[in-house]
Amino acid sequence: MKVVLLHAFPLDERMWEPQLDALAEEDVYVPSFYDLGGNSVDGWAEHVLERADGDLVAVGASLGGYVAFAMARAAPDRVKALLVAGSRATADPPERRAAREEMIRVVLAEGIEGWNREFSPPGPEDRTTEELVRGIEALRDRRDATDVVASFAGPLTVVVGDRDEILPVDEARQIAESAPDGLFEVVEGAGHVVSVDAPERFNEILRELLSRAR
């Protein structure tokens, strides 16, 4: 099986460097959404499925988790296991969509500097305005994935940091409980991007999922 690591926003594939040593014996694919073109979760999922052949384990952080859900929807016969960290199963409610629109307005008016001042955490300085807007649009327009979670036949691990200010711990637990083979992991001391904040614990959880998938 190929392990696909799907990055958070506004980060890129470099965020997974702490995981690569732990996966040294695995077949790993680490794409950058910004290089794939488009501005949609479903579109990126299709691009990844085209580039990564065979059976897959999809590992996604935040935005990457939404792409992982979309991959499982599009190719349930190929996606054998899922790990999502900091990702909701639901689509954005109206108030959150409005907040995304405000993010886009600020980025278009003031660029990355506006993003850094108004929204945290700031993204890498090499993200262009176009890339920021594409990422925000993808988050805003993603589909509800509760049906994917409820029907996913393989092992699904939901990870959340106990200091995550975006995804509440209880909501993450409910996602895992709604899956046929769901497992819930809360990581102490970690925020929204668990793999960066607590790489050793995240790697343990990832290895456990790979064992369950085999």
Tell me whether residue 100 is in a domain.
yes
Query: Which residue has 């590992």 as its token pair?
Result: 59
Same domain, 26 and 128: no
Same domain, 69 and 114: no
Please give the pLDDT value at position 108: 92
Look up residue 99 and give its two tokens: 């907040």
What are the backbone dihedrals phi and psi of residue 77, each rounded to the nearest 5 degrees, phi first? -75, -20
Same domain, 14 and 109: no
User: Which of 66, 54, 49, 211 lies closest to 148, judged by CA?
Assistant: 66
Q: Assess contact for 52 and 2: CB atoms under 8 A.
A: yes
Please give the pLDDT value at position 115: 64
Please give the pLDDT value at position 120: 44
Q: How far apart are CA 23 and CA 72, in angstroms?
A: 22
What string of pLDDT tens digits covers the 214 residues of the chain? Answer: 999 999 999 899 999 999 999 999 999 999 999 999 889 999 999 999 999 999 999 999 999 999 999 999 999 999 999 999 999 999 999 999 999 999 999 999 987 777 654 444 445 567 888 999 999 999 999 999 999 999 999 999 999 999 999 999 999 999 999 999 999 999 999 999 999 999 999 999 999 999 999 8
Tell me whether residue 138 is in a domain.
no
Same domain, 83 and 180: yes
What are the backbone dihedrals phi and psi of residue 69, each rounded to the nearest 5 degrees, phi first? -60, -40
Same domain, 25 and 54: yes
Global pTM? 0.94
DSSP-derived secondary structure for 132-176: HHHHHHHHHHPPP-HHHHHH--S-EEEEEETT-SSS-HHHHHHHH
Of 113, 133, 153, the last residue of a domain is 133
Tell me whether residue 127 is in a domain.
yes
Tell me whether residue 170 is in a domain.
yes
What are the backbone dihedrals phi and psi of residue 34, each rounded to the nearest 5 degrees, phi first? -65, -25
Q: How far apart are CA 49 and CA 33, in angstroms?
A: 13
**H-only helix segments in the chain:** 17-20, 41-51, 63-74, 94-118, 129-141, 146-151, 169-177, 194-197, 199-213
For residue 99, the enclosing domain spans 94-133
Q: Assess contact for 176 and 182: CB atoms under 8 A.
A: yes
Same domain, 18 and 119: no
First to last CA, the chain: 9
Q: How far apart are CA 149 and CA 190, in angstroms?
A: 24
